[in-house]
Amino acid sequence: MSGYAVTDPATGRVVEEFGTITDEALEDALATSAAGQAEWASRGFAERAEIVGRVAALFAEKADELAEIIGVEMGKRTSEGVEEAEFSRDIFGYYADHAEQLCSDLPLDANPGGAAVVERRPIGVILGIMPWNFPYYQVARFAAPNLMLGNAVIVKHAQICPRSSAAIAAIMTEAGVPDGVYTNVYASHDQIETLIADPRIAGVSLTGSERAGRQVAAQAGANLKKAVLELGGSDPYIVLDTDDVAGAAQQAWETRMYNVGQVCNANKRLIVAADIYDEFVAELEKLAAAATPGDHTATDPTVYTPMSSRGAAETLAAQLEEAVAAGASLRVGGQLAETGAYVSPAVLTDIPVGSEVYYQELFGPVACVFKVSSDAEAVELANNTQYGLGASVWSTDLERAKKVGAQLQAGMVQVNSADGEGAQIPFGGVKNSGYGRELGPVGMDEFANKRLYYVGE
């Protein structure tokens, strides 16, 4: 697809097409953003918070409408779309309420007779390159701290998300965000490169593929621009033991199938102790076999919705074929529908460790399960990946789980939980999962000028 369009993934029908921005209009947007940012930065935290707080309220008020948009746009279940809009409300609300405190000056010990502090100041216009899997939440975690800091943002959303990106821009206008402070552009890849090179852009944040991250990092580096990259992962989900194998499998399955498996920090590798492995896999097979296809309006949890696009579904199906050819066992599911973007939920075992497909990210409804005979083997397998976004460990013995968790190479580790997230909790990874953090207190720091202000007598 060369341009921006809404294509219903359930049917493959093109619903609406959008034109790419012209170079002249993009130049106007840049000029307006630069001017708008300067005025916005001159306002106090209280005034910015009042406007950003209205953004938060509008996300909640329009949650049903916003959910319907992305249901058609990228197939998200309506209930999950509402949750996403409400989470976006929480993020904008968190920064509206806490940004002034998070940006307070840090006093330093200075030479006798002097006074020194570190200030957090805006740096200008920040470019955000956003993905399709969470069209509102991803924008919220990028835009909220930057707007409260006094930066302006230009957002280039995914090409399959033109309606949701327009809806966000409309919310900003309705909330009173000044012209140029939040700008949505339907830009081409060449225009993105032009934007990164433009001196009016002070930094760039990308959530996307590892390949896109390498391109953006190279372009940002060539132009000496700060970048934040969130590039996905192959997160381990280690089950050391359990008193309820069926319940543990159910929880792992539900976690994996959220958003039809299209989650950056999803539990993409289930690492299960040998003594419960067979029963655990059998339970997963039952859950996968019970799944039936439907559209985004389905309320039955056994109904699975389409993936974001036919291309995404075909890519996943090809990866499953590659895994089987390498020696893996496709226990159930993994069938690509003749029409639409449906891939039946799958259970995949026996992927050869070290094979090419083992190191790939399977971004869709596939539970990959591995058997281990010891905690040490679980740690070794968990860390055997080029990614390092999230990880989780489960055990009835908390100290045992904590000991394993302490050894995991990831930006986010959870023990006996898959729900360790929130507006106040940082998100980000290590290794090829990218660098930088969003959300929480540290989310204010990525595009801040942490300026030393020294006053001598």
Distances in Å between the alpha carbon of 305 and those of 257, 341, 456? Answer: 10, 9, 64
Q: List the catalytic residue out of 73, 80, 84, 230.
A: 230
47 is catalytic: no
Give the count of beta carbons closer than 10 Å to the beta carbon of residue 127.
29
Separation of alpha carbons 155 and 335, rounded Å: 35
Per the annotation, the verdict on 103 as an active-site residue is: no
Which token pair is 396?
């009835």
Of these residues, 103, 161, 264, 368, which one is catalytic?
Answer: 264
Tokens of 334: 């993994």
Catalytic site positions:
230, 264
